[in-house]
Amino acid sequence: MTVLSPLIEIRNLTRTYNIGRTALHALKNVSLTIEPGEYVAIVGTSGSGKSTLLNILGLLDRPTEGTYRIRQQDAGELTDRQRTTLRNKEIGFVFQEFNLLARATARRQAELPLFYAGVSRKESRRRALDALARVGLADRADHRPEELSGGQRQRVAIARALVNSPSLLLADEPTGAIDTQTGEEVMTLFEQRHLEGLTLVVVTHDREIAARARRIITLRDGAVISDERRPAPVAP
C-alpha cells in the first residue's frame, strides 16, 4: 500500500463566534487528517459544528485557533486570492439548497467555475455539457432551475461542483432537500466519482446516508466524539 501525504490535516482547531458579549465555541480543539481518496461522513446534531468544520475545510471560513493544512499548504498563510483560486480548482461544493443561479440554464450553471478560472467560452461549453452528461442531464442543458425537479437541480449542482475536476468534494446535507429515492441517486453519483479517486466529505444528519461512507466522524458540541473507519462494503 502506498503511503500518501494527507490531503487535509487539521490540528487543535478552534472556531469561536462572538455573539454580542458571549463567545460561542462552534469547534473546540479538533484535530483530524483526511487522506486523498477517502470517503468521509461527518455527522452530528444541528449545532454540533459540522457545517462550521465544512466551511473551514472549504476555505470559506478561517479558524480562530489551530492550523489547517490542505495539500501541505498552511491555509492560514494563504491570501484571499490564493484561497479563492484553490476553491475554484481543487474544491467542489454541493449545498442542501442547491444554490443555483435563479435564471441561468443548467449549462450556464455548470460553466460558472470555469468562467472564474478564465477558461475560454468554447472550452467551458464543452466541459459543462460533458459534466451535465455525466450526471445524466445531457438533455436538460438548456433548462432553467424552475423547469427542473429537486433531484435534477441537485444534479446540476453536482455537475457544477465537478466541472473543474477538483480533488475534494464537500457536500453539506446534499440529500436534505430531496426525497430518499432521489437522495440515493445523488449519493450514487458521488460514489462513482469517489471510485475514480475523488475525496468525498459529506456532512449529514441522516444515519443511512452516513452509513454509506467508509469513515464516520461524529461531532458533538464542537468536538469529535468518535471517528470510526469501516471496511469496504462487500459487493453483493
Partner 1 sequence: MRLLRYFPLAVENIAVRKLRSILTMLGVIIGVASVLTTLGIGRGASADIMQQIGSEGLTLLLVQSGSMFDEIRTSDRPLTMADVAALSDRSLHPDIVQAVPLYRQYIFPGAGNNTGFLEVVGTTAAYAEIHSLELAQGRFLTETEIAQSTKSVVIGADVVQRLLAGTDAVGQSLRIDRQPYTVVGVLKRQGWGRFGNLDGSAIIPLAVAQDRLRPSFTAHRHRGEYTVSEIHVNAASIERANAAARQIEQTLRLRRALTADEANDFTIDNQAWLLERVNSVAATLTAFLAGIGAISLLVGGIGIMNIMLVSVTERTREIGLRKAVGAHNRDILLQFLAEALMLTLVGGLIGIAISFGLAEVVESFSTPDFPLVVLIEPGSLAAAVSVSAACGLLFGLYPAIRATRLDPIEALRHE
Q: Pick the stretch among 18-26, 115-123, 133-141, 185-193 that binds partner 1 (CB under 8 A).
A: 115-123
Binding mask 75-114 for partner 1 (x = CB under 8 A): -----xx--xx-xxx---x-x---x-xxxx-------xx-
Nearer to partner 1, 98 or 190 (CB): 98
Nearer to partner 1, 4 or 24 (CB): 24
Instruction: Report the distance separating Cα 170 and Cα 179, nearest Å.
Output: 20
Q: How far is the CB of 210 from partner 1 (least distance, A)?
A: 23
Instruction: Report the distance separating Cα 113 and Cα 204, nearest Å.
Output: 25
117 touches partner 1 (CB under 8 A) = yes
Query: Which residues are registered as beta bridge partners of 25?
Result: 16
73 touches partner 1 (CB under 8 A) = no
Nearer to partner 1, 48 or 55 (CB): 55
Q: How far is the CB of 100 from partner 1 (least distance, A)?
A: 8
Nearer to partner 1, 95 or 184 (CB): 95
Q: How far is the CB of 184 from partner 1 (least distance, A)?
A: 25
Question: Secondary structure of the chain in the HEC alphabet?
Answer: CCCCCCCEEEEEEEEEEEECCEEEEEEEEEEEEECCCCEEEEECCCCCCHHHHHHHHCCCCCCCEEEEEECCEEHHHCCHHHHHHHHHHHEEEECCCCCCCCCCCHHHHHHHHHHHHCCCHHHHHHHHHHHHHHCCCHHHCCCCHHHCCHHHHHHHHHHHHHCCCCCEEEEECCCCCCCHHHHHHHHHHHHHHHHCCCEEEEEECCHHHHCCCCEEEEEECCEEEEEEECCCCCCC
122 touches partner 1 (CB under 8 A) = no
Binding mask 162-201 for partner 1 (x = CB under 8 A): --x-------------------------------------
Q: How far is the CB of 101 from partner 1 (least distance, A)?
A: 6
Q: What is the binding site for partner 1 (CB under 8 A)?
A: 55, 58, 60-61, 80-81, 84-85, 87-89, 93, 95, 99, 101-104, 112-113, 115-117, 160, 164
